Amino acid sequence: MKNAERFLGAMLAPGIAALLLTGCTPPPEEDLYAIAVGSDDDFAGLELRSIFIVSSAESEPGRILGTIFNKTDKNIDLVIGDRDDELPLSIPAGGKVEFQDSPAVLGSTEARPGARTDLTVKAQGDTMTFDVAVLDGTLEQYAPFVPK
């Protein structure tokens, strides 16, 4: 009986050790970063980060959220908008604009919440089309930003 217990213990020990150790290993690198809702891109010395729109419905006003960083040593004037609206902004050299603090509201949103739409960004003589998500106030953290 003692040999059977030793044999069983020898067979189970590596499996138990493996199970215990799997909870101690660090997560893969991609799990270390939060998944952002918005879109990211680099353009004309600018870093556009987590850009998206919140709106109550298609054809209703939509507020742009996210952050634009100016990675240059010059102030950059830009225009961001869609087919109907163009919103001018100035990003200071080495600075940023956080849309949560600096409201940028489009007169109407071209897509319904849950869909994607294009924003156009013009800066330093270049133009870029930027695909972004449209969300509504269903998620509590975005509800205060939905234009009334």
What is the CB neighbour count within 10 angstroms for residue 58? Answer: 16
Confidence of residue 148 (pLDDT cuts 50, 70, 90): confident
This prediction has a pTM of: 0.75
pLDDT of residue 25: 55
What residues does each domain of the chain span? Answer: 2-29, 39-145
pLDDT of residue 129: 94
- Give the tens place of pLDDT for each residue, 75-109: 999 999 999 999 999 999 999 999 999 899 999 99
- Report the candidate in 145, 137, 142 with the shortest Cα–Cα distance to residue 56: 137
Helix (H, G, I), strand (E, B) or coil at 143: helix
Give 71's DSSP letter: -
> For the chain, where are the E strands, in sequence order?
39-43, 46-55, 62-70, 76-81, 86-91, 96-98, 105-106, 116-123, 126-135
What is the CB neighbour count within 10 angstroms for residue 92? Answer: 11
pLDDT of residue 52: 97
Confidence of residue 10 (pLDDT cuts 50, 70, 90): low
* CA 115, chain centre distance (Å): 15
- Give the tens place of pLDDT for each residue, 108-147: 999 999 999 999 999 999 999 999 999 999 999 999 999 9
Tell the CATH superfamily of the 39-145 domain.
PCu(A)C copper chaperone (2.60.40.1890)
Of residues 31 and 57, more confidence is placed in: 57
- Report the candidate in 108, 114, 118 with the shortest Cα–Cα distance to residue 147: 108
Percent of the chain with pLDDT over 70: 76
Cβ burial of 43 (10 Å; 0-12, 13-18, 19+) is: middle
